[in-house]
């Protein structure tokens, strides 16, 4: 889908549900260096709790520092160049990182593996998940159950898929 189509879909869902964009949270795959990811950061007003791109994972449950994100968008840089502050529980994990302990105590042996599966991580929750990039079939029949919390509730109230083939048809 094009940038405007993805954005219109998100805004349409928010209108239909009577949501205020600024009061919603969002997780994005595809970084501020790409067309869809950069425009989703630029055009949206939701609080972005995480971004995954080719360089790694950037996460802050309180919301990522918007001016620093906009700087990345302006320069078309990946999240590894993020210089903004992170709140308690926030972190940046790059693909080259190994044997890192996250603020929550989780041990991560491989930055690449963590990046590739972060959308399935139980710590991640948001009102909106907008895949704007990533590997095809990242959510499939073998891992779709990881998209749900312990109570069986989807960790993302709404998934607006901008990336081609991010979720397989059987997983839907």
Per-residue pLDDT 10s for the chain (172 aa) are 576 788 999 999 999 999 999 999 999 999 899 888 899 999 999 999 999 999 999 999 999 999 999 999 999 999 999 999 999 999 999 999 999 999 999 999 999 999 999 999 999 999 999 999 888 899 999 999 999 999 999 999 999 988 778 999 999 8
Tens of pLDDT, residue by residue over 120-148, are 999 999 999 999 988 889 999 999 999 99
- Is 3 buried (19+), middle (13-18) or exposed (0-12) by CB count in 10 A? middle
Q: Is the pTM of this model over 0.85?
A: yes
- Is 1 buried (19+), middle (13-18) or exposed (0-12) by CB count in 10 A? middle
Q: So where are the chain's domains?
A: 3-159
- What pairs with residue 58 in β-bridges? 51, 92
* Torsion angle of C-alpha atoms 6, 10, 16, 19, degrees rounded to 10: -160
Q: Do the beta carbons of residue 166 and residue 139 sit within 8 Å?
A: yes
Q: How far is CA 24 from CA 104, 129, 132, in A?
A: 23, 11, 18
CATH architecture of 3-159: 3-Layer(aba) Sandwich (3.40)
């Amino acid at each position: 889908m094009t940038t405007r189509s993805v954005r219109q879909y998100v805004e349409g869902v928010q209108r239909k549900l009577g949501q205020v964009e600024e009061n919603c949270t969002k997780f994005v795959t595809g970084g501020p260096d790409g067309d869809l990811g950069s425009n989703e950061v630029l055009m949206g007003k939701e609080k972005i709790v995480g971004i995954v791109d080719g360089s790694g994972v950037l996460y802050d449950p309180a919301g990522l520092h918007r001016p620093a994100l906009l700087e990345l968008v302006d320069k078309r840089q990946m999240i590894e160049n993020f210089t903004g502050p992170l709140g308690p529980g926030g972190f940046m994990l790059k693909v080259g990182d190994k044997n890192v302990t996250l603020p929550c105590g989780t041990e991560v042996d491989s930055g690449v593996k963590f990046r590739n599966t972060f959308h399935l991580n139980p710590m991640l929750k948001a009102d909106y998940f907008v895949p704007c990039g990533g590997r095809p079939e990242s959510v499939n029949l073998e891992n779709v159950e990881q998209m749900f919390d312990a109570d069986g509730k989807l960790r993302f109230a709404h998934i607006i898929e901008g990336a081609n083939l991010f979720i397989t048809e059987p997983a839907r």
